[in-house]
Structure formats: C-alpha cells, structure tokens
Amino acid sequence: MQFGKHKERSNRERILLQFITLRWEKDVRGAPFSTARNDMEKAFRLPDMLFSYDTSYGLPYHRMLILHNKNGFEKIQDKSVILKPTAKNFKLGCVLIDSKEPESETSEYDVTFTYFPECGKPIRYDKRYQPLTERAFGLTSNEYGRVVYNGRHIYQDTGEWYYELNILNMLLTEQKDPNMLIDQEPLNVYNQIEILY
C-alpha cells in the first residue's frame, strides 16, 4: 500500500507568519518622521522557536509592536504567539488566512483582507458600499506573501488619535532559516493603504 505524499509533506511544511504593527501619534505624523517610517524594514528575523515548536500543539507566529516617536523606533512587543492547533483558518488583524485541502502534494492558503472596526478609519468599502472583503492572493509551497494596511484609531481614555501601519508576512515552506523573510522579497503583495488625517 502506498501512502500519498501530501500527508508526509504537510508534517514538515509549515506556514511562517510575522505580524508587525508600527504605531505613532500626531506629533510625529509628518516629515521627517513619515520618511523614516517609509524607509523602515518590512520584515525581521524570525524567532528560532517558530521552527522547533510542534505544530500539533498550535501554530506559532511572530508578533511585533513597534512604537515610533521623536526618539526613533522602539520595539515594545517582540514575542511568539500560539494559534489554536485545530484551526483551519486564522485571523490576524484584518487578514483572514484560510487553509485549503488540495488533492495535490502541496499545501495552499487563501489570504483575504476583511474590514473590521478594529482596522481603524477610514472605513474600507466595496462597490456596493458594504465593508470591504477582498481576496489578496493565494499562497502555495515556497511562496512569500505580504499584506500591508493602515488605520487611524482613538485612545478611549483621552480621545487622542494614533495611527497604525500593519504588515503581515507569510511564507509556506519546509526551510528553517530565521532570515528567510529578510533575505528575499515577497512574490505576492497586497496593499490597503489610505491617507490618514
């Protein structure tokens, strides 16, 4: 009896996820601070834990929160977070990642941007004036994808505005190189960028 290669392959292959949030306030909204933000790296080294963790206990991803102020960039969160092991789809920020079960020996994911209030202002609408849900791209073996979106938010306690740029890097691979996301450029890029007043 011969077993299909898909099951063997999926035990080694995993989706690597890195979710970066860059946050700033009104005092650093314009130049020269906006130039520094535009020049900031869009990917960082992955923690070793992502490659050694047994995915039957959950899928780890890299979560970073970077604060931009007059002193520069400050990492205020840099950790690995575990997603539920039984989940076939994941929601990170405003991005849904749906696992497909193809009959071929490669894994595949659908990546969709879906507007939720947590995405911030302005609201993103489709042609029928409904909150936007738009397929960004599909991801198969050894493909690197990136979703970038921004939003304006309000601190509930002070009523002051702050701004966020979110970057979700994803790569479906068997390789275990922590520098994979910084050593290459993504094949698929989806941008949902608006002017933030």
Q: Copy the structure tokens of residue 150.
A: 């921004």
Cβ(22)–Cβ(153) below 8 Å: no
Give the pLDDT mean for 37-60.
91
In the block, which residue shows the tokens 């209030």?
117
Quick: pLDDT tens for 1-12: 333 333 333 447
pTM: 0.90
Q: In what order do the strands lie in the sheet with 133-140?
A: 89-92, 95-100, 108-114, 133-140
Q: Are 89 and 97 in contact (CB under 8 A)?
A: yes
Is the pLDDT assigned to residue 79 strictly greater than 90? yes
Q: With beta carbons less than 8 A apart as the criterion, state whether 18 and 153 touch.
A: no
Instruction: Give the whole-number percent of the chain exceeding pLDDT 70.
Output: 91
Quickly state the pLDDT bin for 99 (edges 50, 70, 90). Answer: confident
Q: What is the mean pLDDT of residues 165-182?
A: 95
Q: Which of 10-19, 26-35, 92-101, 165-174 has the highest mean pLDDT?
A: 165-174
Total count of residues recorded for the chain:
197
* In the predicted structure, residue 71 carries a pLDDT above the cut 80: yes
What phi-psi label fits residue 10: left (phi over 0), alpha (psi between -120 and 50 degrees) or beta? Answer: alpha
